[in-house]
Chain A
Amino acid sequence: MNERMTRDQLLRRGAVGVTFLSVPGLLAACGGGGGSKSAGSSKVNKVLEFANWPYYMDTPATLKAAGIHKPTTPKEFEKQTGIKVNYYEEVNSNPEYFAKVQGRLSKGEGIGRDIIVSTDNDRFLGDYISNKWAQKLDKSLIPNIKNLIPAQQHPPFDPHRDYSLPWASGMDGIGWNDKVTDPVTSVKQLFEDPKLKGRVGVWNSMGDTLGLVMLENGDDPAKVTNASFNRAIARVQKAVNSGQIRKFYGNDYAAVLAKGDLAATMAWSGDIANLADPHVHWLVPTQGGIIWTDNMIIPLGGSVPTASTYMNFMYEPMISAQWAVGANYISSVKNVKQDAVKLDPKAASNNLTFPTDKTLSQMHQNDPAMLRNPDYNKKWLAVQGQ
């Protein structure tokens, strides 16, 4: 008998073959390998895995610019404790990072990081804590927690600071490149100046962008109503439709601004100083800016003792002073200014690290209820074409 088969027969038999496979077995095979479980060890590790935003650490270059001749704070930490800091500048935006790690965290698995940093003017910091994806700090290892300024001791997302400590505060403002444009001083100019068409950046984070737009509209970002929210969204939508806005950025706007593809963009206060490009400047918009705080948390799987040891180190006044001057962001350590001046006499006049009362009077905070509102979040994504 001729055993040759037609193509048709072959396909038919193949299809039958598939049904022999056990589906549950396959599903199990797809589940992915084990991976580290959440149980963090109780001993201090030799390495700290630290995920943070770009432009957020004192570097040899920024310290040199400030006239400080000391090792950077991560190097100093290693010297004092023998713990090496593996520093990952991998947080580009709160929603992106949350999306990246939530899969493992929701299964109770670690993400290979001992500390991650998340901002209080986005809903995700609260989500990490309320989902129990953050571990409790070991305060017995953080005696320096006494140095935390009172204003930061009882935030709504973590009333007793059991899960989080501030990394830095910063301000929302406008950055511009003087090779491409004259100073851009207001959101109105950013959104409507025809000379800036297609060369304007805004953030993909709702609190930051809409906060600045609400201030421009004369609305209060700390007390958002449906009307003020819709006004702000409409204004952004108009700037998208007219082609004024080039893109919704995370922290990746900085390099594009320095290159000159962006003429002006919404920008975070210290980033521009840390870019150290003489052509790129930063200012508080005429209608005011937004102030926020980034917080360190220990994700599931992270080593609590190692992370707590590092947090204690960062709350050492002299260390925090050096970091603040080198990173150009605002420290949450008490009396840090006195120590900073000892390191660099010019530091006292650094408006990014130690904002003047006038600057602080221009700062506002986001309404936490706005950040959590699912309907608002939906509209915010829609305006980005998502």
Chain B
Amino acid sequence: MGEFLHRHKGLTPYLLLAPGMLWLTIFFLVPMGFLGYQSLESGLFPHFHFSWEFSNFSSALSGYHTQLIRSFVYAGIATVACLVLAYPLVYWIAFRAGPWRNLFLLIIVAPFFVTYLVRTLAWLNILADEGPVVRILRDIHVLAPDGRLLATTFAVIAGITYNFFPFMALPLYVSLEQIDARLLEAAKDLYSSPTQAFLRVTLPLSAPGIVAGTLLTFIPAAGDFINAALLGTPNQAMIGNVIQAKFLESLDYPTAASLSFILMGTILIALLVYARVVGPEKLTG
């Protein structure tokens, strides 16, 4: 083998790429092609036939644009919330926690050893209408006497924020941790205030982390359906809920498939716009 590779050096990259490409072909390209095929079918379950039914896309869009827009609004708010919550926390861990850094990182990640579904189900109990949190909030008049947290927009966005927090925190930590402390000292030596040093040194250097974190949070959050399903009402339904129900309850595969493509396309466009704004080199770190 070694001899063979030595003689055919040109083959090495193919061999290295083969496993990943094979994986992507089987589990990404082929299903994607199938989904595209399905999105252009017409008919009623179980008798669908392929008919270049492009109207699936327009009818899906006109029927479910509310949920689509809502998904991006919720995902956007949750991403900003994650960033605002995560940045000071990981900043502190990276620069101030000293030998305890790994412990604190572990604490951030620890809840995520439990499955997604169970974590979200736990919120059902924590935020329950007759539970302790709501009762205390009612007592101190933060909530109206008949107010509630569950089955509200707040609960859904909070759930998404919570569930995607580590996807923001970890890339941010990596970029903050890599910052050379001497640069900050240099800034200080050059008479910058702490605020100036932060704005002109720390923040720009952590930008790749912010970009990576926002993408890792926003993209899956836009397609999420668990939080809206468990913590919301039909008025909080996101596009993921529609796709899930179309696939698994109403068995309307063509609409589900076209909605999946619409979601993917919209995310892709959002990504391109984002890349334009922040500069493409930040996307790849």
Contact = CB atoms under 8 A, between A and B. Distances in A.
Interface of A: 3, 5, 9-10, 13-14, 17-18, 21, 23, 26-27, 29-30, 95-96, 98-100, 102, 106, 131, 179-180, 195, 197-199, 204, 240-241, 243, 245-248, 259-261, 374, 377, 381-382, 384-386
A76 B252 CA distance: 43
A17 B18 contact: yes
A197 to B, nearest CB: 8
Interface string B5-23: 0000110011001100110
Contact of A26 (B26, B44, B235, B250): B26
Given A14-B21, A261-B150, A384-B245, A240 B235 contact: yes
B245 A180 contact: no
B139 to A, nearest CB: 17
Contacts of A260: 128-130
B58 interface: no
Contact of A102 (B13, B25, B26, B46): B46
A260 to B, nearest CB: 4
A198 B22 contact: no
6 contacts: A18-B21, A96-B249, A199-B129, A243-B233, A246-B151, A385-B235
A237 to B, nearest CB: 10
Interface in B122-176: 124, 128-130, 146, 148, 150-152
A198 B234 contact: no
Interface in B242-265: 242, 245-252
B235 A5 contact: no
Nearest to A250: B249
A29 B128 CA distance: 46
Given A106-B46, A259-B130, A29 B248 contact: no
A385 B237 contact: yes
| Interface range, B side | 35 or more
A10 B17 contact: yes
Contact of A246 (B30, B128, B233, B237): B233
B2 interface: no
Contacts of A197: 146
Interface of B: 9-10, 13-14, 17-18, 21-22, 25-26, 30-31, 44-46, 63, 67, 124, 128-130, 146, 148, 150-152, 233-235, 237, 241-242, 245-252
Contacts of B25: 18, 21, 26
Nearest to A262: B129
Contact of B151 (A13, A198, A240): A198
Contacts of B242: 385-386
Contact of A248 (B146, B150, B234): B234
A240 B249 contact: no
B250 A377 contact: yes
B21 A17 contact: yes
B235 A243 contact: yes
Contacts of A3: 9-10
A374 B44 contact: yes
Given A3-B10, A21-B25, A95 B128 contact: no
A374 B250 CA distance: 11
A199 B129 CA distance: 9
Contacts of B46: 102, 106, 131
Contact of A198 (B13, B30, B45, B148): B148
A265 to B, nearest CB: 13
B12 to A, nearest CB: 8
Nearest to A198: B151
